[in-house]
């Protein structure tokens, strides 16, 4: 049996416990009780991610529900896991189901699925009766190493041209318990699995050479879904984020470093017609951020080659689709960046690198820095 890795965080007085290991799903009821998250009067509502091929609904949600039922699961909401569906109508659907099930302020919302559903349902939990306890059971690599930990919840807002503004509406609401059962990754498609590796590479770049080397060394076994290596790999990556979030819960300082590559990535994701997954956009965004760092005079040009190699080695794209070469699309990408949450008083704040472990937030006044990032990932 693989080791269970435990992380405990205190985020502004709200305790979050994250467990990473194999076989946790079937133990969920005992784990809820061990963390004192339910009593005889607790009404639990389950939100499940339809996911690709209904894998969560078919394979994982029934195991979870059987483990936690005990007469306390009063209803289930099933949500579509797409960026377009990550919007207020989905939140309202969860609210309506909570109301119909009679879930009060002592209730518990249990969410199983990927990052989109964790974000959306987390926002519903944060706002239902001004906040009810939340348990997240991430079933994708991306949600395990990123979306499930740190308390950020939210939904996208559509623009008139059909593009999306990522996570523009949201709240900070940490889960009380996160159960990352690495066995659930067995039903994840290769593309979705690789998508999660982008965040792991980002964590390695933020933390430094030692962590980046350890992640890179485990990468072949991880790509092969080695059940002995996966829990350690996930826990190591999550540990980087946990350390930063514990220091800066509301992103007033160091937490902004976790946006490495994301300002570019969110603009890329606004082009919903490209169909890129979040991790794919982040991988491209990491390459763009490295190129912008070079143009800003912060890094040696070899950094771009190194980051591009790491992203490609994870099986992720390193450039945009061919359509991105169109001048109107380029203009739209830059416009989307200006609407990002990381713009303050009209000034773009980019996370740039001097090298692994040397990451900082920079206010970018020179447009050529942003242009260099886009040029590095745009097909010619």
Which residues are tagged catalytic?
Answer: 130, 152, 199, 241, 251, 255, 259, 262, 266, 278
State which fold the 245-377 domain adopts. Answer: Dehydroquinate synthase-like, alpha domain (1.20.1090)
Angle, helices 302-313/209-223, rounded to nearest 10 degrees: 30
What are the angstrom distances between the C-alpha of 37 and each of 17, 94, 206, 353? Answer: 11, 21, 34, 41
The architecture in CATH of the region 5-188 reads 3-Layer(aba) Sandwich (3.40)
Tell me the whole-structure pTM to 2 decimals.
0.90
The span from the CA of 67 to the CA of 22, in Å, is 15
- φ/ψ of 109, rounded to 5, equals -100, 120
C-alpha angle 267-273-275 in degrees, rounded to nearest 5: 80
In a 3-state reduction of DSSP, which class is residue 48? strand
Question: Do 5-188 and 245-377 come out as alike in CATH topology?
Answer: no
Domains of the chain: which residue ranges? Answer: 5-188, 245-377
Strands (E), the chain: 5-11, 14-21, 44-49, 73-79, 108-113, 133-138, 152-158, 164-172, 177-181, 343-344, 347-355, 358-364
**What tens-digit pLDDT sequence spans the chain (380 residues)?**
568 999 999 998 899 999 999 999 999 999 999 999 998 889 999 999 987 778 999 999 999 999 997 668 889 999 999 888 999 999 999 999 999 999 999 999 999 999 999 999 999 999 999 999 999 999 999 999 999 999 999 999 988 888 788 889 999 999 999 999 999 999 999 999 999 999 999 999 999 999 999 998 998 899 889 999 999 999 999 999 999 999 999 988 899 999 999 999 999 998 989 999 999 999 999 999 999 999 999 999 999 999 999 999 999 999 999 999 899 999 999 988 887 766 666 678 899 999 999 999 999 989 999 999 999 999 98
């Amino acid at each position: 049996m693989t080791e269970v890795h435990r992380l405990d965080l205190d985020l502004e007085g709200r305790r979050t416990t994250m467990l990473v290991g194999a076989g946790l799903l079937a133990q969920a009821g005992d784990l809820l009780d061990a963390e004192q998250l339910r009593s005889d009067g607790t009404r639990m509502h389950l939100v499940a991610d339809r996911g690709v091929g209904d894998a969560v609904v078919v394979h994982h949600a029934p195991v979870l529900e059987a483990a936690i039922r005990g007469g306390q699961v009063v209803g289930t909401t099933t949500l579509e896991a797409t960026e377009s569906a990550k919007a207020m109508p989905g939140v309202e659907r969860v609210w309506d189901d909570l109301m119909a099930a009679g879930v009060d302020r002592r209730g518990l919302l249990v969410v199983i699925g990927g990052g989109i559903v964790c974000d959306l349902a987390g926002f519903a939990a944060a706002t239902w009766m001004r906040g009810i306890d939340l348990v997240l059971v991430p079933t994708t690599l991306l949600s395990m190493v990123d979306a499930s930990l740190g308390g950020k919840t939210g939904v996208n807002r559509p623009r008139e041209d059909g593009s999306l503004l990522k996570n523009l509406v949201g709240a900070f609401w940490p889960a009380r318990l996160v159960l990352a059962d690495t066995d659930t990754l067995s039903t994840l498609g290769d593309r979705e699995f690789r998508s999660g590796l982008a965040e792991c590479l980002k964590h390695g770049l933020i933390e430094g050479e030692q962590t980046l080397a350890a992640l890179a060394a485990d990468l072949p076994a991880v790509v092969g879904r080695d059940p002995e290596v996966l829990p350690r790999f996930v826990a190591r990556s999550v540990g980087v984020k946990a350390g930063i979030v514990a220091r800066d819960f509301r992103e007033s300082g160091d937490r902004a470093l976790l946006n490495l590559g994301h300002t570019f990535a969110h603009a890329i994701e606004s082009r919903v017609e490209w169909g890129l997954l979040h991790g794919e956009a982040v991988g491209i965004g990491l390459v763009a951020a490295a190129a912008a760092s070079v143009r800003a005079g912060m890094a040696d040009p070899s950094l771009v080659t190194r980051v591009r190699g790491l992203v490609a080695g994870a099986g992720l794209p390193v450039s945009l689709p061919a359509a991105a070469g169109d001048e109107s699309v380029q203009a739209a990408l830059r416009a989307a960046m200006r609407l990002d949450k990381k713009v303050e008083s009209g000034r773009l704040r980019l996370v740039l690198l001097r090298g692994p472990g040397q990451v900082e937030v920079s206010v970018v006044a020179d447009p050529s820095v942003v242009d260099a990032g886009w040029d590095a990932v745009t097909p010619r």
